[in-house]
């Protein structure tokens, strides 16, 4: 108290007092809203969010597998689904041991001059698809893959109940060049307070196409691909696997429902009868990919969180009609990679037609 009074007396002059108050006002916000070492920054030109910071918190791997049963220190379990398959063991969602996003707190989106930044609030989970350390998704039974799809759908629906989150997705990075983090066969799930850039491009483009034609661009694409199935790899009653016309990398392959469906999670929970068909197609597609390449990125693209009561709902007013969920798989062909082209203009040295033909000829059951 004495110190405060004597300090104030020192600041006799109005000018010094103003200077002191201004300095205090600059410091207060950072005291009230302490930031993580990482933050989200928005590129003012491309409008994409980037995680930036000096990453000191992500720890080195422990000397044991945290996802194998009986691990000395296992991550927190969020949800478990028992497998219908005898002896297959449960599929489990766990908190990521070194998460990119944290569930606590508010995003506190704020301006820094012309820039936008916010805290890395969100969810980052690990989906452990098997208790076995040596069984990958494509080596699992269709019943096990179905359980994994059901858990994924449940987690997405659950996280979409949190109105802070605008987008929830599942992805899998397999192999060192893909940035695989754990030896145990896992997939990951993130919930973010923003829609990631690639999905945002797709959502905007699908909406524009719908506004002009009143049709879903994915359904139209599918219609054309099925009329001349040069790029179709496998066609089932309800799902299809195909190499996209403008593949970004050699052997890029997508899995999508043949009839219009915007939401993966709604589809999986309401059509459990078709789940084995989808599971089988995912298994065979990944086996095909693994006979071509040792590593890949897999990502699920589904509708954004339309529970949002804000302008977002208005913004995505036609999303159920114009967007169509799909799974994208991008194999990594190490030796022929062209880093510049991959970043600026995609360069694919094997055409989608040749890739589809090669995939079809593989002996996969
Ligand atoms: Zn393990
Ligand atoms: Zn559609
Ligand atoms: Zn997509």
Q: pLDDT of 195-226, one tens digit each?
A: 999 999 999 999 999 999 999 999 999 999 99
Q: What is the 133 CA–ligand 1 centroid distance (Å)?
A: 4
Of 177-186, 286-295, 330-339, 347-356, the poorest mean pLDDT is in 330-339
Question: Counting beta carbons within 10 angstroms of the beta carbon of residue 164, is it exposed (0 to 12), middle (13 to 18) or buried (19 or more)?
Answer: middle
- Please tell me the predicted confidence (pLDDT) of residue 20: 45
- Average the pLDDT over 82-101 and give the result: 82
Of 146-160, 263-277, 304-318, 350-364, the poorest mean pLDDT is in 304-318
Q: What is the 329 CA–ligand 3 centroid distance (Å)?
A: 10
Q: What is the 259 CA–ligand 2 centroid distance (Å)?
A: 7
| pTM for this predicted structure | 0.85
Q: How confident is the model at residue 78 (pLDDT cuts 50, 70, 90)?
A: very high
**DSSP conformation class of 194:** S
Written as six digits, the tokens of 71 are 């691990």
Q: What is the 253 CA–ligand 2 centroid distance (Å)?
A: 17
Q: What is the 318 CA–ligand 2 centroid distance (Å)?
A: 12
Q: At residue 84, does pLDDT exceed 80? A: no
- Relative to the alpha carbon of 126, which ligand is closest? 1
Q: What is the 262 CA–ligand 2 centroid distance (Å)?
A: 7
Distance, in Å, from the CA atom of 72 to the CA atom of 16, rounded to the nearest integer, reads 58
Q: At residue 8, does pLDDT exceed 60? A: no
Q: What is the 110 CA–ligand 3 centroid distance (Å)?
A: 29
Q: What is the 300 CA–ligand 3 centroid distance (Å)?
A: 7
- Relative to the alpha carbon of 68, which ligand is closest? 1
Instruction: Tell me the residues surrounding ligand 2 (ion) with CB < 5 Å.
Output: 216, 218-219, 260, 324
Q: Which residue in 93, 157, 127, 150 sits closest to 272, CA to CA?
A: 150
Distance, in Å, from the CA atom of 346 to the CA atom of 190, rounded to the nearest integer, reads 26
Q: What is the 129 CA–ligand 2 centroid distance (Å)?
A: 29
């Amino acid at each position: 108290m004495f110190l405060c009074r004597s300090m104030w007396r020192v600041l006799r002059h109005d000018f010094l007092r103003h200077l002191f108050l201004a300095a205090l006002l600059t410091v207060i916000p950072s005291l009230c809203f302490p930031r993580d070492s990482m933050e989200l920054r928005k590129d003012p030109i491309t409008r994409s969010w980037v995680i930036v910071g000096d990453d000191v918190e992500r720890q080195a791997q422990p000397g044991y597998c945290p996802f194998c049963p009986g691990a000395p220190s296992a991550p927190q379990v969020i949800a478990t689904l028992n497998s219908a398959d005898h002896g297959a063991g449960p599929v489990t969602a766990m908190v990521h041991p070194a998460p990119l996003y944290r569930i606590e707190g508010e995003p506190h989106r704020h301006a820094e001059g012309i820039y936008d930044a916010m805290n890395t609030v969100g969810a980052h989970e690990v989906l452990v698809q098997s208790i076995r350390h040596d069984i990958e998704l494509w080596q699992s039974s269709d019943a096990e893959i179905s359980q994994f799809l059901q858990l994924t759908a449940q987690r997405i629906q659950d996280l979409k109940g949190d109105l802070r989150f605008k987008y929830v997705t599942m992805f899998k990075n397999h192999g060192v060049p893909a940035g695989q983090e754990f030896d145990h066969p896992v997939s990951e799930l993130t919930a973010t307070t923003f829609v990631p850039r690639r999905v945002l491009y797709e959502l905007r483009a699908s909406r524009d196409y719908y506004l002009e034609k009143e049709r879903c661009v994915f359904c139209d694409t599918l219609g054309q691909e099925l009329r001349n199935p040069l790029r179709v790899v496998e066609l089932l009653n309800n799902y299809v696997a195909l190499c996209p016309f403008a593949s970004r990398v050699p052997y890029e392959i997508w899995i999508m429902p043949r009839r219009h469906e915007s939401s993966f999670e709604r589809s999986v929970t309401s059509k459990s009868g078709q789940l084995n068909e989808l599971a089988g197609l995912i298994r065979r597609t990944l086996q095909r990919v693994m006979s071509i390449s040792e590593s890949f990125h897999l990502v699920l693209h589904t509708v954004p969180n339309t529970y949002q009561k804000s302008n977002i709902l208005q913004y995505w007013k036609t999303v159920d009609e114009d967007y169509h969920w799909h799974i994208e798989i991008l194999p990594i062909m190490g030796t022929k990679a062209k880093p510049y082209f991959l970043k600026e203009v995609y360069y694919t040295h094997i055409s989608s037609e040749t890739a589809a033909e090669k995939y079809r000829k593989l002996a996969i059951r």
